[in-house]
Amino acid sequence: MKTAPVIALSDVERKTLEAWSRGRSTQARVVLRAKIVLAAAEGKTNEAIAAELGTSKPTVGRWRTRFARLRTAGIEKDAPRPGRTPAVAVETIELIVRKTTQEKPAGATHWSTRTMAKAVGVSKDTVQRVWVAHGLKPHLVKTFKLSNDPQFAEKLEDVVGLYISPPEHALVLSCDEKTQIQALDRTQKGLPCPSGRRVEAACPGHRGV
């Protein structure tokens, strides 16, 4: 039979846990974990703590054990979860991005999903997913501009990462610059406004006073 670890707190740990358990700005899950550890430090069993706090016995046991192993740092943040093994290797994704941005297929002006799939050895659906994820549109030859920056993929991942997983309490803003566009004056002079009519109605685009 597994025995629950005995919890003994230092003065600093107790003050920290008591602050978390009462803190209105503290995340609810951290409040619960702090209360679990404080109750465990009083010598209460996992079953009694679960009944007192309205949670499950396995939950009490998990955070009690984790605190005994990692102390306050162990209950402040969630444990990292193992990610699913990616269906496409990172090297393959980098190869697709590099070839799309820095190379051209033989006898063609731009890559298609089929030509890229054949060149890399993956399915055309995989190529499409990689292009969508990285914002690549080589088929739009008139509007899509290829980058010759050898660090394009790394920089792109840094930018996309800000949107997918921004830092805590951070505000991410995006500004788009239209290149090769210059603000010029009108090519045709404005027509004179007839008398007796409101400026807005007679001359669209002008404001009356």
- Do residues 24 and 62 share a domain? yes
N- to C-terminal Cα separation, the chain: 88
Q: Is the pLDDT of residue 201 over 50?
A: no
Q: Is the pLDDT of residue 127 over 70?
A: yes
* Residue 170 counted as domain residue: no
Structurally, the chain folds into a number of domains equal to 2
Using the 3D structure, point to which of 131, 147, 164 is the last residue of a domain. 164
Q: What is the DSSP string of 139-152?
A: T-TTT------TTH
Separation between Cα atoms, residue 135 and residue 118, nearest integer Å = 21
Mean pLDDT over the full length of the chain:
75
> What contacts 90, CB < 8 A, 6 or more positions away?
none
Using the 3D structure, point to which of 24, 54, 76 is the last residue of a domain. 76
Coil vs helix vs strand at 84: coil
Separation between Cα atoms, residue 33 and residue 114, nearest integer Å = 53
Q: In this structure, what token pair is assigned to residue 68? A: 């005994």
Does residue 34 contact residue 17 with C-beta atoms inside 8 Å? yes
**Would you call 97 exposed, middle or buried from its count of C-beta atoms within 10 A (0-12, 13-18, 19+)?**
buried
- Do residues 20 and 60 share a domain? yes
What average pLDDT score do residues 162-172 get? 63
Domain that holds residue 130: 90-164
Q: What is the pLDDT of residue 29?
A: 83
Of all residues in the chain, the percent with pLDDT exceeding 90 is 0
Q: What is the pLDDT of residue 174?
A: 65
- Do residues 94 and 155 share a domain? yes
Considering the entire predicted model, what is its pTM?
Answer: 0.39
Q: What is the pLDDT of residue 31?
A: 87
Using the 3D structure, point to which of 22, 41, 76 is the last residue of a domain. 76
- Do residues 97 and 46 share a domain? no
* Residue 209 counted as domain residue: no
* Of residues 155 and 51, more confidently modeled: 51
The pLDDT tens digits of the residues spanning 25-62 come to 778 888 888 899 998 888 888 888 888 888 888 888 88
